[in-house]
Every structure is written in structure tokens, then in C-alpha cells.
Amino acid sequence: MSRPRFKRILLKLSGEVLMGEGGLSIDPASTARVAGEIADARRQGFELCVVVGGGNIFRGIAAAAKGFERATADYMGMLATVMNALAVQNALEQIGVDTRVQSAIPMSSVCEPYIRRRAERHIEKGRVVIFAAGTGSPYFTTDTGAALRAAEMKCDALFKGTSVDGVYDADPKMVPGATRYDTVTYDRVLADNLKVMDASAIALCRDNDIPIVVFNIRERGNLARVLDGEGVATVVGTTEAEIIPFDSGEISVELKKPAQLRHERKNKPVIERGARAIDLSDSPDRETN
């Protein structure tokens, strides 16, 4: 695999990163911290879309093991991801990041339905798009949903934010001497059953040549560092490779203030590349042209 250069990424987060130390399912402080990580990456000029799991609220597979009918349990888990997506959207817009939530299960009074071309248009306009409700079908994990959306959005990489700083040959929390991989192949992950993502998600990324970058999202500022090639992470790809950052060309991003997001659509966020400005004008919320 050639050394990857990233411009558009999908960030996959577990629902647990939104939890607080007191066990609160959605902790405002934790959610704000995650939003800050995303905002920092957006200011660097990266195009971002996000998938958040629902494990902090409900786990479909675990519920099915305790007697829930599997499809019903999975749908409940999908609804949990919508709650998390709305929480992250709220936190992002409070710090001036224009955001849209799209759900694979239509709920028009809450968020937009998932429409691929509309999502691409939002990203092109500089918005962060949060995909909720997985694939919209039971028996698929949010990891698989993230891999699917990364392929559909033509992302350069899928970044998986976890509580560890990469992929290990054993659980580092259980095995102190576990070895971390700098790079590892998709096939090695599948053959050794390394705990990165489920097999369907790994295979989907492999078949579409989407590198997976595993890093610790709980370390403050780490997403921006990894995107710059400075942080610690593991890259999963076709062959062994090192991560290097996307050459952003000194891109700067002016983010809207919360009041502008709520009340004004005339003030426009702009990405500047040298002397040329790219207009990221927004039209009314449901405008997709």
C-alpha cells in the first residue's frame, strides 16, 4: 500500500466516549471534548463525516444474548445512535461547527434521512455530517455502517477513535506486554482476529482500499496530531505502510458562531487557500442543491 494522504475522513467513535466518569450515558463535558477534537480537525481543513455507536445507551447484540429478539434489539441500538448523533451535533454547533445529522431510519422531524448525494453536498459545503442508525438494517454493526458510509462518501481513510493508541497483538489492558503494530494488513487483522472492527467492516474497507487508522480519541488533541502524522496510531491497509498527513496547503477555516448557525444564513464560512477563497455558503437547512 502506498503511503496514504488524507483529505476526507470518516471518524468512527464508540458511544462510550460520550460517557462521563459517573456513568452518565451522555455526559455534556465528555461530548464537548469530543466535539472539540472534531472542530480542531475541521479547522485544519479536513473534510469530516462521523459515525457514533450507541453502546453507552443500548447494545443490541448484548440484549439479544439476554433474550431480546435480535432484530428488535438491533433497532433499539440504532435509535441509541440517533440520540448520540444529536448530542454531538449540539456540541459541535455550540462551538460554531455547521453540522448535519442523517439517519438511515427516516425520522424527518428529528433529522435528515440518509441520502448519499445530499451528504456529499453537505461535506463539499464544509459541514460535518453525522451518520446515525447504522445501515438501517438489523444484524449489521455500527462498524460495518461506518465502513459502508466511508466507501459511499469516497473517504480517504476511516479513523477509529478508541480508548487505546492502536492495534495490539493482545488486549493491552489485560496483557501488559502486548505489542502495538505501527502498520498491519487487513488480512492479518482477519486471520489473527485482532480486535479492530468486525470482519464485515474490515473486508469492506479492504475491498474498497480504505485505510483504517486506529488511535486514542480520549487523549486531548490526538485526532489533530494523528492527522498531522505526529500522534501514535496503527494504520491497517493492504501492505505495511506509515501514516503521513494530508498536505493541507495552509488551509484555514473560519467557523460560524452559534448565533449565526441558529439565526443567520447570510454569514458564510470560508476556506481560504492562499489568495483564493472557496465559498461555503449555506442556504436554508433543507437546501441540497
- 211-270 pLDDT, tens digit per residue, is 999 999 999 999 999 998 888 999 999 875 444 444 444 433 445 555 555 554 444 443
pLDDT tens for 54-79 read: 999 988 778 888 888 999 999 999 99
CB 167 within 8 A of CB 196: yes
DSSP output for 163-183: SSSSEESS-TTT-TTPPEESE
Label the pairing between strands 128-132 and 157-162. Answer: unpaired
Q: What percent of the chain clears pLDDT 90, i.e. is strictly above it? A: 69
Q: What is the rounded average pLDDT of the residues 199-206?
A: 97
CA distance 85 to 107: 13
Model pTM? 0.82
Q: What percent of the chain clears pLDDT 70, i.e. is strictly above it? A: 81
CA distance 56 to 81: 9
Q: What is the rounded average pLDDT of the residues 173-187?
A: 92
108: which 3 cell numbers? 424527518
CB 56 within 8 A of CB 15: yes
Residue 25 has pLDDT above 80, yes or no: yes
pLDDT at site 6:
87
DSSP output for 191-256: HTT-SSS-HHHHHHHHHTT--EEEEETTSTTHHHHHHTT-S-EEEEESS----------S-EE-PP
For the chain, list the domains and their CATH numbers: 8-237 (3.40.1160.10)
